[in-house]
Amino acid sequence: MAFGERLAAAMDEAGPLCVGIDPHPELLARWGLNDSAESLAAFGETVLEACVRSAAAVKPNAAFFERHGARGVAALEHILGRARELEILTILDAKRGDIGSTMEGYADAYLSEGVPLEADAITVSPYLGFGSLQPAFDLAKHTGKGVFVLALTSNPEGAEVQHARTPDGESVAGAIVRQANALNEGAERMGDVGLVVGATVGDAVKDLGIDLGSFNGPILAPGVGAQGAGPQQLLQVFGNARGRVLVNQSRGVLNAGPFVEKLRGAIQAAAGAAQYTLQSFDVQD
């Protein structure tokens, strides 16, 4: 089954929540763990256990593992493998982007079947040109994986590039959305190529003339919870695209650890809140 179909089914079952696995040093300390590769594995195991049938997907952030070198990458391999065993979808937040054989190498590392760092989907950066990502799109289609393309990020610096206009007047972010959507043509419910759109970007979608409502793929939405976005921001940014929004939360739920039951409760509450918020918009339209 293709990634988009699997993600849609998981969202139906568990709600539209993706839990970030972000073991930064402050959070490890809060959990009573030292800053080591072994702690990363323990942290990830706990998050995965709490997410079983409670979240649609998890999103390990590669940077927090890579900072520990080979042992940290081994911990990431373990977490990705354990998630497959538990049948939890993984979106590896790696934000890779390059050209030619280098992009092929990144795609092989994460989207091939049976590789150590195999994930169900990855995040990629299109800012060497959308076409530079073609190796990832091609391999993902072959292996039934997903690709989430950075479109509108919530960091202030992102506007320098994403809000800029192409020679024909289209915004850079708008061009990314348009090209990503073309790759989902023919998908019955939700395609395999998604977007990353921050829930804190305010009126940027409207101001840039971007039609997210016609986008036929998943939209990963960081920024909800600890970063400040709530129901009003979700409505403002995503409007009638809300049925394809996968809300990402990290600190907002991870602060409930380290005990599995308490963490699971926080995840279920966040998933329920996201489900209620996104569905309740139907009444307001």
Can you list the positions of beta strands (E) in 97-238? 121-124, 146-152, 193-197, 219-221
- pTM attached to this predicted model: 0.95
* Predicted confidence (pLDDT) per residue in 127-158, tens digit: 999 999 999 999 999 999 999 999 999 888 99
Range of the domain at 242: 3-284
Peptide bond into 126 cis (omega under 30): no
What is the predicted pLDDT for the residue at 235?
Answer: 76
Overall average pLDDT of the 249-258 stretch: 92
* Predicted confidence (pLDDT) per residue in 212-250, tens digit: 999 999 999 987 755 556 677 777 888 888 889 999 999
Per-residue CA distances from 51 to 7, 29, 60 (Å): 15, 21, 13
Residue 32 has pLDDT above 60, yes or no: yes
Q: Please tell me the total count of domains within the chain.
A: 1
d(CA 233, CA 252): 16
Catalytic residue among 59, 95, 206, 262: 95
- Residues with Cβ within 8 Å of 109's Cβ and at least 6 positions away in sequence, in order, are 115, 117
Q: Could you tell me the pLDDT band of residue 71, with boundaries at 50, 70 and 90?
A: very high
The CATH number linked to 276 is 3.20.20.70
- Residues with Cβ within 8 Å of 102's Cβ and at least 6 positions away in sequence, in order, are none
Active site residue 95: yes
Overall average pLDDT of the 163-171 stretch: 94
